[in-house]
Amino acid sequence: MRISELKPGMRNVRLEAEVLEVGEPRRIRARGSERTILEAIITDGTGRVKLVLWDDKIIGLEPGDRVLVEGGVVTSYRGEWRLNVSRDGSVRKLGS
């Protein structure tokens, strides 16, 4: 799948992309519990999307890393589309 094809509500998204920007992990309160979140901007040449990693799905990312996202869920939060990786999803770096 390509980033340009993403739409809110899509589930089980699988795509490869390059990391453009990475934020710092931070603690938030979500659904009544404390959680850790990491946000990054990724691109595949067809568009950009905010990649959101939760809790144990957080991995060390740097700009320029190539990643494979599997089992992602597309949501809209405050008018911004996001590709979330939690529970059943995964993200891993490609190459070295």
Q: How far apart are CA 9 and CA 77, in angstroms?
A: 12
Q: How far apart are CA 43 and CA 41, in angstroms?
A: 7
Q: How far is CA 24 from CA 4, 12, 38, 40, 49, in A?
A: 26, 26, 6, 9, 17
- 3 state SS of 5: helix
pLDDT digits (tens, 9 = 90+) for 46-60: 999 999 999 989 899
Is the pLDDT at 30 greater than 90, yes or no?
no
In the chain, what percentage of residues exceed pLDDT 90? 85
CATH architecture of 3-94: Beta Barrel (2.40)
pLDDT band at 96 (very low <50, low <70, confident <90, very high): low
On the CB side of 59, CA atoms within 13 Å amount to 19
Domain boundaries, the chain: 3-94
Q: What is the pLDDT of residue 70?
A: 97
